[in-house]
Amino acid sequence: MLYIPLMKHLRMSWTDIKNTSRNELTGLLNAYAEHENFHSMDGYTERQVSEMAKDNPQIRAQYTKYLETRRKYEDMQGLKKNLTFKGL
């Protein structure tokens, strides 16, 4: 189990970690990973990602995962965008 993110990013002390159940720690780590993915590409446009992906192809996969996560949470909140044929 990785405790460093809990201590570094969530500011949990070693005592807090020892007093927390394994299921709760796993949940915290999963939530932190989801948060990092959710905000990993904030502020970048599709064009900027395409330019960066020329030098580093893994960025395209990370951006795709980012978009999937954004859509998942938008769907959960009911923030579906109205699709129109105007721009076609």
Digit-coded pLDDT (tens) for 20-77? 999 998 898 888 888 888 888 888 888 888 888 888 889 888 888 888 888 888 888 8
- Residue 43 — left, alpha, or beta (φ > 0 → left; ψ -120 to 50 → alpha)? left
Residue 79: other Cβ atoms inside 10 A: 10
Domain boundaries, the chain: 1-38, 42-76
Q: How many CB atoms lie within 10 A of CB 6?
A: 20
Compute the distance between CA of residue 17 and CA of residue 59 in angstroms, rounded to an integer: 33
Phi, psi of 61 (to 5 degrees): -65, -40
pTM higher than 0.75: no
Residue ranges of E strands in the chain: none
Which H helix or E strand runs over 76? helix 58-77
